[in-house]
Structure 1
Amino acid sequence: MTRLTRFVRTTAFKLSLLYIAVFTVMSGVLVVYVSESTDNLMSEQVVQAVDAELKGLSDVYVRGGIRDLVETVDDRTQHPDASLYLLVDFAGNALVGNIARLPTVVLEEADGGLRRVRYTLLGQGTEDVERQAMVRTFELRGGFRLLVGRDLGDQLRFSNLLANALRLWLVVVVVMAAITWFFVSRRVMKRIDDISASSRMIMDGDLSERLSLAGTNDEFDRLAVNLNDMLDRIELLMQSMKDVTDNIAHDLKTPLTRLQTRVETALRDAKGEAGYRGALESTLHETDHLLRIFNALLRIARVESMAPGSVMEPADLNRLVAEIAELYEPLVEDEGGRLEIDVPENLEAVCNRDLISQVLVNLIENALKYGRPEKGPLVLRLKGREEGGRVWLSVSDNGPGIPEKDHDRVMDRFVRLEESRSEPGTGLGLSLVKAVARLHGGDLRFKNEHPGLCARIDLTPVSHESFRSGDGEERFGRTEQPRGG
């Protein structure tokens, strides 16, 4: 009873009920319209046939009198069809015709009007079968009366056949509508129940559960695909949050422990102002390191929480790269290396200028720390191109590179390869670059160039025609959804 009540309250049930009512009413109107139209058409045909018979007989009567009329009527009654004839004298005695019995009032009111009557046919054992006909009666000179009519048997049979067919059609429509409603409602309810069951499993904590697809690419499949993409994103964010929490607990435990040890040592062993000052300076250094880690985490979180396209504007990448290169070129030269730029003029992209600048800074600093070659000077290259409907920027060096098996791992938070443990850092720089790339609808990808490593991100290009025509604001507010989650 509960399932029935829930089923009756569903939108699918109400819509199906409405469709059944609409189809039933439309079918009923169609039945009435066809029946009335058919009956009127056949009645017109009967009237035309009777009028044609009367015109022919009246011509015979005018030309040859009552004798020719009797002969003509007698001849026509010998050919059985739907036509009816009856000629009587002034006393009501039948002279000729094919009607056995007829209400006397029909002959008495010989006004030429069309009327529907019941009669019995003469001969062939049909005197006891009552029929219906449309007749006209006229009074002739000498007191004679002539009745001409048309049997309605064929018309009535056809009307009954049509009415039965239409009634059957109406029943079939209602039954088929009910069957369709039943199966459609069950299908819709099953899909909704599947979605509800999956939702309950997800709410219970199983974030790996996904909505099932029927493979029909209908609206439920499209909804399920979108919801599954959303769930993938939520699961990724939840996993990232868990990883961040684990990494914070793991990576911050050492500096916090070290900070606590130094404070305890200072309280126990430090003597005089110089001892306490040295302890405070060491403590301050550790707190600065912790603050840098937390600031980097907050910056990554802010980038990941931005809506794609909400902070985008057209930017001249040639000019942006030139500004970054001007800032870092002296530093590279101090390291005994050189900085090369290969970005074509008028290369524009829809991006967040500040975040892309931060990306280039992080990649250049990583190359300065870990991209020094074993022999020869350091060479850094900043390159940009537009290919395949996307704009990409890259920073490459001529150092030892990164093993391919670690290309994905180095983008995770707090990950530092063994070769870089001796260098200062937090292990969050590439995580920020990855977050910025995803915000721009692209990816961060690495490629070993033997020698060296190339780090590349994708951006959305600017359409120069749109930019000049003034619709840039509409275009620049849209970016592709982040790939890969």
Structure 2
Amino acid sequence: MRRGNILSGGAFTAALLSLGAFMAVLLALGAILYIVLSGAMERDVDNQLLEEEQLFLQIYDRYGQQALVDAIGQMETPAVAGRRVAGLFDADGRRLAGNLDTLPLSEGWMTLEFNQLLPRPNGLYRLHASSTTPLDGAATLVVGYNIRVLQRTEWQLLYSLLLAGAAVTIASIAAGYAVSRRMFGKLEAMSETLEAVSRGDMAVRIPVSSLNDQIDRIAQRINAHIDRLAVLSDITRNTVNTIAHDLRSPLGRISLEVQQAMVETTGDARLQERMESVLAELEGVTGAFDAIMRISRIRASAGEADFSVVFVAELLAEMQETFTPLLEDMGQRLVCDADLFRGLAVFGDAPMLRQALANLVQNAGRHCPPGTTVTLDAAEDGEGAVVLRVCDDGPGIPADRRSDVLLPFHRVEGGQPAPGSGLGLALVSAVAVRHDASLALSDNGPGLAVSIRFPPRAKINIL
């Protein structure tokens, strides 16, 4: 299962779009929440500072200056220092009390950074300075609060939002990948089933899960169509087989009658010639019926119970031994060096493979003129697939007609006239489909090259 196909699936894309929308909403809500919370905490600090300032002034009004100095001096205790600051400064800016050593340059609200260059406070403080009249003259009272705590709260809020966004992102991507993987698996199973049906295997069906989602419902409908197609295919195949089988017997009897009539009319040369022509036509029709039945049996077979390791060198050597004399009688020659292919083997039905190669060699000899060279070849490509090839240097087949000749009863007009029913390549195509192999017709420059490429398998032990 290719990961690229999963990541580009509709479910994963929908998950990414949903994640993008969620993150946009999360960012907007986070920004609003941050602004609102930050403003609320700042107002709360301001109110506390104003209350504290009023409390110091009330202490002075009720108990005098020493009470105010003592109250402000409590800011120097370790429990308070670092969180709160306060200072009372005279008109010349000298500290009279408190843990704030420096008088701010202006009055009102301000935010100042106190660092370790100053003796006591350290941090970012929100300050409020106002003029007052204690100690028998003008003075300035300053109160402040360390807002680092507020900043930490704000950062924790941002961190929580980022953590939530990351968690949702990971969960969305994982869920989208899981759903897309499941859907892609179902689509792969659907594709494999339809491909098997196209090869003639009407027993396969698309698996349907208990979820009964949209793909499952589509799979159920496709399975119903395959059921109907299987019934129609069985009816058609049985009808054709029945017709072919039922006609073989009378055709055989007619052939025998013609042969007997030829014996009884040996004196009439003209009648003998016509009977020989009739007998040849009968043999052609009988051969066509036999080919139809063979193709039907090949398409109806399934599984690999009859498959075994077939050594390419032995298979090609057998073809060479069988057809070399036949092609020589036609003024042609067959070329094959079987020893070159002793390291190659395929897994398949040996009789079917022999029939396919025999049909290809016979087709080459039948449709090519004298002097043609037919070559049997084999190779292993870069993906580990074994390719069997039958090539000739004859007239070849036009590129726009090569797919047509694989159809039953189709023949290319013109070129070398030859008998036949147009079922040879159709049978080869059925054998290729039976082995999950691909059949290709290409230009041999000159001539035609027919290749059967078997799918890559684990290395076959040929020792």
**TM-score normalized with structure 2 length:** 0.46
**TM-score normalized with structure 1 length:** 0.44
